[in-house]
Structure 1
Amino acid sequence: MQTAIIFDMDGTLFQTDLILERALEQTFEHLRGNGLWSGRTPIETYRRIMGVPLNVVWETLCPVHSAEIREQSNQHFQVALINEIEKGNGALYAGVERTLQKLSEKYPLYIASNGETAYLQAIMERYRLNRWIKKCYSIDQIESKDKSHLVEHIMNEQSVHCGYMIGDRASDINAAIHNKLTSIAVNFDFAQLGEIRHANFIVNQFPDIFNIVMHEPLGV
């Protein structure tokens, strides 16, 4: 059994905000071009729900569309996101690489994300996160599409008995509570204080995570 640190990806390690608008605009332009959407792209709606499973995203953004159209829209969106990543239009948050490096010297690091596998792999490859992250897990692997269950799966597969869950949304904090992990919330782009107020710790800069992990006892 081991102590580990599990990270969310979007809005925690990766600045999804830098590529989100372009990818979503491309997707809804495709819908408009096919007579399936009129009006502006619902970017603000997506910002509010960022972090929920993708099936919920498309049910929310396209409430009157068929499941087939939603799936096609998501596929178009995923391709657009990956293209933006490969073009170098995204970025990690300040201090992520150095902090991951230092943390990995003491703990195994994992990712638990609501993002799709191909999208996560594009980020992992672009920023060579495998230097520090032992394995990246997608919600695709969990039938329930529940992040609490994804984190539970990671802990079982990796023989993790305690540690930290780090993220920016309610699903991350709930996953920590469900799995008896210490929660650290990052108050970045998509974070909402109403969702993260129950975290054990809240940080405004990524490097502050290192100080908490190194100096605070688990189970605070």
Structure 2
Amino acid sequence: MKSTLDSIIFDLDGTLWDSTETIAIAWQKALDQLGMSDKSITAETVRGLAGMPYDAIYDKLFPDLKGEKREKLKQLCARLELETLQERGGVLYPEVKETLEFLKGKYKLAIVSNCQSGYIETFLEHHSLHAYFTDHECYGNKGMSKGENIREVVSRNNLQQAVYIGDTTGDYEASQIAQVPFILAAYGFGTVEVEVESIKQFADLKHL
């Protein structure tokens, strides 16, 4: 694979950074503002949702909240999440920037995530990483699945041999839908039950 690889597509949460603490703060603030302080959101709560489409998160966390109330909470969470991330950011995994610098000289780099619109842009802006990536796509832009979005990025950038790097079973399944090889970020939030290539830290990509 290494000899023919021309591009690397990354998942974001659990692969490039950990923003769970910041997101938990934002979502709890939204709940408090709407008089729902009886519900508690922690970083561990957010970590358990990693890789899920943005809308599906509310099915899991708030199954009894319907209609206008649910939409109001979703919009407030989304707005406060981006505002809080712009202010506080997330935690980059060790040697992410240095490794991206190394990889950029050899491959086209992109990001595909199941996040809301504006989330990837906030990540790139907060950590000054725009220059490293050719493209990015997310669930929030067109409501497409992660697998479809990987295919979209491959197609519009004319990528001949891409690989997808993520940390959850959902990421692996998306790579299979997109028909690209998968590498597991074993330091991330999830696991994959099948045997796949893996990295124990982000810098391992320099040598893989």
TM over 0.5, shorter chain: yes
Worse overlay, 116-125 or 39-48? 39-48
Instruction: Please report how far the alpha carbon of residue 73 of structure 1 lies from its aligned counterpart in structure 2 after TM superposition.
Output: 1.6
CA distance in 2, matches of 1:67, 1:120: 28
CA distance in 1, matches of 2:122, 2:51: 18
> Would the aligned equivalents of 2:135 and 2:153 in 1 still touch at CA under 8 Å?
no
Worse overlay, 87-96 or 106-115? 87-96
- Give a deviation string over 1:83-141, Cα, whole Å, max 9, x none: 22222342211111011111110000011011112122111111121111111211123
> Would the aligned equivalents of 2:104 and 2:132 in 1 still touch at CA under 8 Å?
yes
Q: Does 1:22 align with 2:25?
A: yes
**Equivalent AA in structure 2 for residue 84 of structure 1:** T
**Equivalent AA in structure 1 for residue 38 of structure 2:** G
Q: TM-score, normalised by structure 1?
A: 0.84
Partner SS, residue 92 of structure 2: coil
Structure 2: segments with no counterpart, 5+ residues: none
Partner SS, residue 185 of structure 1: strand
Partner of 2:155: 156
> Pairwise mapping of residues 196-215 of structure 1 onto structure 2 (< 5 A)?
196-198=192-194, 200-212=196-208
**Equivalent AA in structure 2 for residue 161 of structure 1:** Q
Partner SS, residue 207 of structure 2: helix
> Would the aligned equivalents of 2:138 and 2:146 in 1 still touch at CA under 8 Å?
no
Partner SS, residue 106 of structure 1: coil
Worse overlay, 117-126 or 43-52? 43-52
Partner of 2:60: 60
Partner SS, residue 11 of structure 1: coil
Q: Does 1:166 align with 2:151?
A: no
> Pairwise mapping of residues 117-132 of structure 1 onto structure 2 (< 5 A)?
117-132=117-132
CA distance in 2, matches of 1:72, 1:5: 37
**Equivalent AA in structure 1 for residue 69 of structure 2:** I
> Pairwise mapping of residues 187-198 of structure 1 onto structure 2 (< 5 A)?
187-191=186-190, 193=191, 196-198=192-194
Question: Which 4+ runs in 1 deviate beyond 6 A?
Answer: none
Partner of 1:181: 180
Q: TM-score, normalised by structure 2?
A: 0.88
Q: Does 1:73 align with 2:76?
A: no
> Would the aligned equivalents of 2:30 and 2:77 in 1 still touch at CA under 8 Å?
yes
CA distance in 2, matches of 1:204, 1:185: 9
CA distance in 2, matches of 1:122, 1:38: 27
CA distance in 1, matches of 2:127, 2:194: 31
**Equivalent AA in structure 1 for residue 199 of structure 2:** V
Structure 1 residues 67 and 45: CA distance shift in structure 2, 3 A: farther
CA distance in 1, matches of 2:171, 2:62: 25
> Would the aligned equivalents of 2:51 and 2:168 in 1 still touch at CA under 8 Å?
yes
> Would the aligned equivalents of 1:6 and 1:111 in 2 still touch at CA under 8 Å?
yes
CA distance in 1, matches of 2:206, 2:74: 35
